[in-house]
Structure 1
C-alpha cells in the first residue's frame, strides 16, 4: 500500500484537480482509480482552458458543434459535459462501492455568474439536467450571491460543490445554506439521503498573499502557517455543525455530511515541502484535491497520520498573532475571493477565444 491508499483509512479521500482527454485516453486516470484509490475529480475554467487551448483533442468537437451552434459558451459547455460524463462513468464503480459517498466529478458554472444568484440557479439546473449523472457535483462559488443559490439547488436535490471558499465567516454561512437547503427539501417531502455536497477551501493562495506581508513585519514565525491554521479552524466549525441538534435531525432523516475539501494544495513557494498542504490536513470526512505533481509527490514520500485535529491551540495562536500584527484575515480572504473570480473569468475568456480561433481556422480551410 502506498500513502495514497493508506490515507483513505484515515477517512480522507484524494481527488484529482485535473480533467482533460489525454488523461482519460491514455489510461492514466483509470490507473489512478485502480491503483491509488483516487476518489474523485474536479474541474474549473482554468483546467478546461489549458485542456482546450493546449491540445488538438477538442478540434473535431469544435468543428462539429459549431455546425449547429455559433455561441462559443454553449460549444464549450457541450464539450465540457461530454468530458464530465465520461469521467463520471469511470468513477461510477467508486460511487457504487462507497454507497454514493465518493466517486464524484465536478463541473463549474460560468465564472461570469459569480455575482448573479438567479443566473447561477438557472445554469445549475441546466447543467445538472444535461449531465444526467448521479455522481456529478455542480460547482457554485462561495460568494455572498452564491449562498441563496446553494440553498435553492440543494433543496432541489442537486449535488453541489461550493468553490472559491477562503474565509471562515463565509464558511459558517455556507453551513447554514447547506442545512437550510436540506431542511427545505424535507419540508417538501423529498428524500435527502442522496444529496451530496462539499465545501472547498482554497489554501495555498492564502499564504501566497499573506506571507509577503508577514516578512515585511519580520513575523517569520508565521510565514507558511496561516493557510493550514485557517483550515484547522474550518474543520472545527465542521465538527460543530455535525454535532449540532439541527444537523443531527437531518442526519436522522438520512442526510450526508457536507465534507470539507482542501483545494489549491500545490506548494507555490519552493522553500516549502511539496506535500505541505497534504500531510497536516488528514482526517475524517475530508477530501484533498491535488494536482498531478502533488499526487506523485505524496505517493512517493507522503506520511499518513490523522493530523487535522492536532495542534489546534497552535492554529488559534497563529490566527491571533496575525490579528495582533495588524493583518485582517477577513480582508485578505475577501480580496482572494474577488481575485479568484477574476482569474477564472480571464481563463474563461481565453477559453472562448481559443474556441473562436479554432472555428476561424476551419472556415479558412473551407
Structure 2
C-alpha cells in the first residue's frame, strides 16, 4: 500500500521535517523518513535545538571542546548546530542533486535576538552560510520589517533563504518582492541565479489559536479553525500573481526558481480538530509543508492526500471578509503574532544559552 505521506508528493507538494536532533540523524531515523516517507528537507529553529541539546548528553563533548574561553555561549551553540546541519545536508545531498536543487534543503536560523536588526541579520546570514559550507543549506531570516532588506541582500549574495515567521498577507507580498529584487541584484552583478532557492514560511495554527476565541464573541463560531487556512489560500493567490508576468518571466528565462510558499506551524493546537487538519487542507503544487514528527506519523497512519489548496477560494475570501466586517482586525492580530513569535524563539534560545553556560562551567 502506498505511504500516505509519500502520496502528498504526487500533488506537487514537498514534505519537510520540522525537527532536528543529533541522535535522530545518527541512528538512521532521518534516513528512514527520506526513504520510506519521501521527506525532502528539514527545518530547525531555536526551540527545536533547545530541546535537542538540553535533553541529550550527545552534545556534551562538543560543548567541552568549544568551551576554551574564546567563544561566547552563542558561538558555542552555532558550533553545535552547524555540525548537525552539515550532517543533515549531507544526507539530503543526493535528493538535492536529483531534484535539480528544488528540494533537499536543511534550514538553520540566525539568532532570534536579531529579529529586529536587519544589518546584523544580514551579516550573520553571510557568516552562517560560509560556516555551514553546504550548497543545500537555507539560512532562516524572520520576515519582520527590518528583515526585508536582509532577505534582499542575502539573496543578492547568492545565499538560499528560508523566510520565517510570516503571518500576514501584506508582509508575505513584501517578502516575495524582496526575493525577486535580490535575484535581480545578483543577476545585475553578473552572476547566475538558477542555483538560488528560497521559501516563505507562512505560519498557520497560531493564527487560529488567537482568532478563534474572538469568533465566538462575534457569533462567528462556524469559522473556527478556518481563518488560517483561508489566509494561506489567499497567500497562494498572491504567490501565483507575483511569480508570473513580465518581471518574473525575465528571471525565469535565466533559470530562476520561484520562492515557494512553505506551510509552517502545521500541528493542530486545538484537540477538537483532526490532528492532520492543517496538512490535509493545503496540499497543492509548488508548495512545501514542514511538519513535526508526530504529525508525519499521524498522516502516515490516517491522513488523506488530495489536491485541496485551490478548493473553496471563494469561501476563503468570504471568511476573511466576514471577520473584517465583524470588526476583527486581522492585520493587527498578525502583527501581534509576529511579535509573540519573536518572543517564542527568544525565550528557548535564552534558556539554551544558559544550559550551554552551565555545561561549559563543568569543564
Confirm whether residue 13 of structure 1 aligns to residue 14 of structure 2: yes
Confirm whether residue 154 of structure 1 aligns to residue 155 of structure 2: yes
- Gaps of at least 5 residues in structure 2 are none
Report deviation, 1:361.
Answer: 2.6
Rounded to whole Å, the distance in 2 between the matches of 1:259 and 1:110 is 23
In the TM superposition, structure 1's runs of 4+ consecutive aligned residues that sit over 3 Å from their partners are: none
Rounded to whole Å, the distance in 1 between the matches of 2:288 and 2:202 is 10
Report deviation, 1:26.
Answer: 1.9
Rounded to whole Å, the distance in 2 between the matches of 1:274 and 1:201 is 19
1:123 alignment partner in structure 2: 124
1:291 alignment partner in structure 2: 292
Contact 1:69/1:75 (<8 A) preserved: no
Report deviation, 1:67.
Answer: 2.3
- Gaps of at least 5 residues in structure 1 are none
1:319 alignment partner in structure 2: 320
Rounded to whole Å, the distance in 2 between the matches of 1:213 and 1:22 is 42
Confirm whether residue 184 of structure 1 aligns to residue 161 of structure 2: no
1:282 alignment partner in structure 2: 283
Describe the superposition over 1:230-260 as per-residue Cα deviations: whole angstroms up to 9, x where unpaired.
0000000001012221111110111011000
Report the number of matched residues.
362
Contact 1:106/1:138 (<8 A) preserved: yes
TM-score, normalised with respect to structure 2 = 0.98
Describe the superposition over 1:42-88 as per-residue Cα deviations: whole angstroms up to 9, x where unpaired.
00000000111111111111011102534100000011001100000
Describe the superposition over 1:169-197 as per-residue Cα deviations: whole angstroms up to 9, x where unpaired.
00110111011000111111100000000
Rounded to whole Å, the distance in 2 between the matches of 1:46 and 1:10 is 31
1:30 alignment partner in structure 2: 31
Rounded to whole Å, the distance in 2 between the matches of 1:198 and 1:2 is 25
TM-score, normalised with respect to structure 1 = 0.98
Contact 1:127/1:138 (<8 A) preserved: yes
Describe the superposition over 1:298-352 as per-residue Cα deviations: whole angstroms up to 9, x where unpaired.
1111111111111000000110011011100000100000000011111110010
2:272 alignment partner in structure 1: 271
User: 2:243 is paired with a residue of what secondary structure?
Assistant: helix
Report deviation, 1:360.
Answer: 2.1
RMSD: 0.8
Confirm whether residue 86 of structure 1 aligns to residue 87 of structure 2: yes
Describe the superposition over 1:78-107 as per-residue Cα deviations: whole angstroms up to 9, x where unpaired.
110011000000011110110111000000
For structure 1, which segment, 83-92 or 19-28, has the greater mean C-alpha deviation from structure 2 after superposition?
19-28
Rounded to whole Å, the distance in 2 between the matches of 1:343 and 1:314 is 32
Report deviation, 1:199.
Answer: 0.2
